[in-house]
Amino acid sequence: MAARSSSTSRTRKSTSKKKAAAEGSLWKPILAGIAAFLLLCLALEYYKEGGRLAFLKHKIDEATQTNTLTKFHPSGYEVAGLDISHHQPSVNWKQVKAQKIKFTFIKATEGITHQDRYFARHWKQAKQHDVLRGAYHFFLPSRDAEKQAKNFLDKVKLEAGDLPPVLDVEVTNHQSDEEIVAGVQLWLDLVEEEYDLKPIIYTNYAFYEKHLAGHFDDYPLWIAHYNPKKSHEIGNRNWVFWQHTSTGKLKGVRGNLDLNVFNGTMEDLYNMCYEPARF
Using one digit for the tens of pLDDT, what is the confidence trace for 151-198?
999 999 999 999 999 999 999 999 999 999 999 999 999 999 999 999
Average pLDDT, the chain: 83
pLDDT digits (tens, 9 = 90+) for 200-243: 999 998 899 899 999 999 999 999 988 655 555 555 568 899 99
What CA–CA distance (Å, rounded) separates 153 from 87?
22
Average pLDDT over residues 74-103: 94
Spell out the domains of the chain, with CATH numbers in brackets.
Answer: 81-272 (3.20.20.80)
Give yes or no for residue 61 having a pLDDT over 60: no
Residue 258 has pLDDT above 60, yes or no: yes
pLDDT value at position 152? 98
The pLDDT, as a whole number, for residue 76 is: 84
When pLDDT is cut at 50, 70 and 90, the band that residue 63 belongs to is very low
Q: What is the mean pLDDT of residues 140-151?
A: 98
pLDDT interval class at 37 (50, 70, 90)? confident
Catalytic residues: 83, 170
Pairing type for strands 101-110 and 114-115 reads antiparallel
| pLDDT higher than threshold 80 for residue 78 | yes
Closest by CA position to 134, among listed 177, 182, 102, 180: 102
pLDDT the model gives residue 75:
77
Q: What's the pLDDT band for 34 if we cut at 50, 70, 90?
A: confident
